[in-house]
């Protein structure tokens, strides 16, 4: 390839000299021989510009010979009749060589500058590309495909797994097909030194494996598979490969640090949430405990001076506060199960009327004389839900409504089918939600500005949302026209309910 190119360059230079000679033959009658030397010099300069130093010198030699043979008397011999022509030859040759050399050097410099520019350009594009990637997997993916494109080789990347063993992570998996290639990649990963830069010494692997190092840690290894190992020996290409690798290594390190920073932030947030939980929970646990301890000790130490009504009242306090404590612990457990992901949703086809009914039955002691208006469409189909969990949702919503509704106003529960969804609304007539509270009410431990006077840890609605989410549904809060708050739960119906074979016989059991 290189040799043929060389031949082409010399042939080109020769062609230029031939051209100049033809032109000189045409112009000979009208000009002095010294003018013709100028033409030949021009030919040499053009050769230097077009083909470099070697062809320029060759052109100079051939030019002198042709000039001597064709235009210097005695013509058509290499003999020279006048001594002054020898000077002309010497000057002509020297000028040709000097201009040729200078021009060729300029040309080389220009070419090198172009190569450098291309290289810098490609590095720039790679770095820009890598800067846009968020995670290390994406960085590797981008780097591998860019490098493969720029160097026209097959590229793969490996990452260490938990045990420090190299695992294919991105790129062309065929690069690591061979046992020796995998071993070479592993070696680069373990020792942090490039493998395969000196072909022949790599134990059968034809690839080049370059560790991507940040500090003292090898984050990944780039594996290049080359069909012609000799081509990699080109210092120019080697330089490029090094530059690409270090760019990728830097980008990987950036991602790793960013991920670490994110993790740390998450830990800080979790820590903060935990301490908020602790202070909230310990307060909520202590309040009923204080009441129970006080009432119980009063009963224990009573020497008979307490009236029956007082004793009854104290016993009542113990019972109520214990119930409250039990609810709180239940909520905390539910929240923990929801957050740890151990909550299993067992969907079965349920009657919503039944689930709402049992929620209300359980709430009876707390609701006391609060009216609850239930309006469930009589032809509502069976709904796919986890009855135990959904009963909890209804209970928490009703409990919440009861807490914030004004005295004497009923709680409204409505259910209907809306497209392919169940729509369940629990609404009250109270103060409603403050601006911006529509989302915050579902945050755990959120207690609204009006919650201060009410008991509760701010978990009920968060649990509702957790359970509804786990069902694949949605829950939203909004203010109700005419005052009060309304919570709307939507559950997907997931297909058609199973059919029930109806009895063929009459209506009589006899």
Partner 1 sequence: MRDRTIKDVATTAPGVPALVLVIEDEVSIRRFLRAGLESHGYRCVETGTAGDGITQAATRSPDLILLDLGLPDFDGLTVLRRIREWSRIPIIVLTARGQERDKISALDGGADDYVTKPFSLPELLARMRAALRHRTRAVAEPEASAFELGTFRIDLERRRVSVGGAPVQLTPIEYRLLTTLARHAGRVLTHEFLLREVWGPAHTGQHHYLRVYMAQLRHKLEADPGRPRLLMTETGVGYRMAEEPQSD
The smaller minimum CB distance to partner 1, of residues 165 and 388, is found at 388
The smaller minimum CB distance to partner 1, of residues 181 and 391, is found at 391
- Contact flag: residue 507 with partner 1 (CB under 8 A): yes
Q: Which stretch binds partner 1 (CB under 8 A): 97-105, 118-126, 224-232, 493-501?
A: 493-501
- Minimum CB–partner distance for residue 329 and partner 1 (Å): 9
- Contact flag: residue 289 with partner 1 (CB under 8 A): no
Rg (CA), the chain: 45
Binding mask 28-67 for partner 1 (x = CB under 8 A): ----------------------------------------
- Minimum CB–partner distance for residue 355 and partner 1 (Å): 7
| Cα gap 416→218, rounded to integer Å | 60
| Cα gap 143→122, rounded to integer Å | 12
- Minimum CB–partner distance for residue 502 and partner 1 (Å): 8
Q: Which residues contact 85 (CB under 8 A, 6 or more apart)?
A: 68, 72
C-beta neighbour count of 466 within 10 angstroms: 23
- Contact flag: residue 459 with partner 1 (CB under 8 A): no
User: Which of 68, 284, 321, 391 touches partner 1 (CB under 8 A)?
Assistant: 391
- Contact flag: residue 505 with partner 1 (CB under 8 A): yes
Assigned token pair, 98: 């000097």
Q: Which residues contact 384 (CB under 8 A, 6 or more apart)?
A: 347, 348, 349, 350, 491, 492, 493, 494, 495, 497
- Contact flag: residue 410 with partner 1 (CB under 8 A): no
Q: Which residues contact 249 (CB under 8 A, 6 or more apart)?
A: 212, 213, 214, 219, 220
**3-state DSSP assignment of residue 131:** helix
- Minimum CB–partner distance for residue 426 and partner 1 (Å): 14
* Closest residue by Cα to residue 470 from 301, 376, 321, 345: 345
- Minimum CB–partner distance for residue 274 and partner 1 (Å): 23
**Alpha-helical regions (H) of 133-234:** 136-151, 179-191, 229-233
235-301 and 136-151 are packed helices; what angle lies between their axes, rounded to 10 degrees? 170
User: Which of 61, 102, 382, 451 touches partner 1 (CB under 8 A)?
Assistant: 382
**Residue 224, exposed/middle/buried by CB under 10 A (0-12, 13-18, 19+)?**
buried
- Contact flag: residue 497 with partner 1 (CB under 8 A): yes
**3-state DSSP assignment of residue 122:** helix
- Minimum CB–partner distance for residue 361 and partner 1 (Å): 7
Q: Which residues contact 391 (CB under 8 A, 6 or more apart)?
A: 355, 358, 359, 362
Peptide bond into 493 cis (omega under 30): no
**3-state DSSP assignment of residue 350:** strand
Taking a C-beta distance cutoff of 8 angstroms, is the pair 425, 487 a contact? yes
- Minimum CB–partner distance for residue 364 and partner 1 (Å): 8
- Contact flag: residue 307 with partner 1 (CB under 8 A): no
- Minimum CB–partner distance for residue 327 and partner 1 (Å): 10
Q: Which residues contact 360 (CB under 8 A, 6 or more apart)?
A: 367, 372, 374, 394, 398
The smaller minimum CB distance to partner 1, of residues 39 and 322, is found at 322
- Minimum CB–partner distance for residue 463 and partner 1 (Å): 13
Number of residues that bind partner 1 (CB under 8 A): 32
- Minimum CB–partner distance for residue 296 and partner 1 (Å): 12
The smaller minimum CB distance to partner 1, of residues 24 and 331, is found at 331
Q: Which stretch binds partner 1 (CB under 8 A): 33-41, 67-75, 173-181, 322-330?
A: 322-330
Binding mask 325-364 for partner 1 (x = CB under 8 A): -x---x--x--------------xxxx-xxxxxx-xx---
User: Which of 376, 451, 470, 493 touches partner 1 (CB under 8 A)?
Assistant: 376
> Site residues (CB under 8 A) for partner 1?
319, 322, 326, 330, 333, 348-351, 353-358, 360-361, 374, 376, 382, 387-388, 391, 497-498, 500, 503, 505, 507-510
């Amino acid at each position: 390839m290189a040799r043929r190119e060389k031949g082409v360059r010399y042939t080109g230079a020769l062609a230029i000299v031939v051209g100049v000679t033809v032109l000189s033959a045409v112009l000979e009658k009208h000009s002095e021989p010294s003018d013709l030397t100028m033409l030949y010099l021009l030919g040499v300069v053009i050769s230097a510009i077009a083909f470099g130093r070697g062809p320029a010198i060759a052109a100079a030699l051939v030019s002198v010979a042709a000039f001597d043979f064709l235009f210097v008397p005695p013509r058509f011999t290499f003999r020279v009749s006048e001594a002054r022509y020898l000077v002309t030859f010497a000057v002509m040759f020297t000028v040709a060589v000097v201009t040729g050399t200078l021009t060729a050097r300029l040309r080389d410099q220009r070419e090198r500058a172009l190569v450098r520019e291309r290289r810098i350009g490609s590095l720039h594009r790679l770095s820009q590309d890598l800067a846009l990637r968020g995670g290390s997997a994406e960085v590797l993916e981008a780097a591998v495909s860019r490098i493969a494109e720029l160097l026209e080789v097959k590229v793969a990347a490996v990452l260490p797994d938990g045990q420090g063993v190299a695992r294919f992570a991105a790129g062309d998996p065929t690069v690591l097909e061979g046992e020796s290639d995998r071993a070479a990649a592993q070696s680069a990963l373990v020792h942090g030194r490039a493998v395969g830069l000196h072909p022949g010494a790599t134990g059968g692997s034809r690839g080049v494996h370059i560790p991507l190092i940040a500090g003292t840690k090898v984050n990944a290894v780039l594996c290049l598979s080359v069909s012609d190992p000799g081509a990699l020996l080109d210092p120019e290409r080697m330089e490029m490969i090094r530059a690409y690798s270090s760019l990728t290594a830097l980008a990987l390190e950036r991602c790793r640090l960013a991920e670490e920073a994110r993790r740390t932030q998450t830990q800080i947030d979790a820590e903060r949430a935990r301490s908020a939980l602790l202070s909230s929970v310990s307060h909520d646990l202590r309040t009923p405990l204080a009441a129970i301890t006080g009432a119980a000790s009063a009963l224990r130490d009573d020497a008979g001076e307490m009236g029956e009504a007082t004793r009854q009242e104290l016993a009542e306090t113990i019972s109520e506060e214990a119930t409250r404590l039990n609810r709180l612990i239940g909520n905390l457990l539910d929240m923990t199960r929801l957050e740890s992901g151990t909550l299993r949703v067992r969907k079965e086809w349920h009657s919503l009327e039944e689930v709402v009914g049992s929620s209300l039955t359980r709430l009876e002691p707390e609701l006391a004389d609060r009216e609850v208006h239930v309006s469930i469409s009589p032809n509502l189909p069976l709904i796919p839900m986890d009855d135990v969990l959904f009963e909890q949702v209804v209970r928490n919503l009703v409990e919440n409504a009861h807490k914030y509704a004004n005295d004497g106003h009923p709680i409204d529960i409505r259910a209907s089918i809306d497209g392919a969804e169940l729509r369940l609304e629990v609404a009250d007539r109270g103060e409603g939600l403050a601006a911006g509270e529509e989302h915050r009410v579902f945050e755990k431990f959120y207690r609204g500005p009006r919650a201060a006077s009410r008991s509760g840890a701010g978990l009920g609605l968060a649990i509702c949302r957790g359970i509804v989410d786990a069902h694949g549904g949605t829950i939203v809060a909004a203010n109700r026209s005419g005052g009060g708050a309304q919570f709307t739960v939507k559950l997907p119906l997931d297909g058609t309910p199973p059919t029930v074979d109806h009895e063929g016989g009459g209506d009589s059991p006899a």
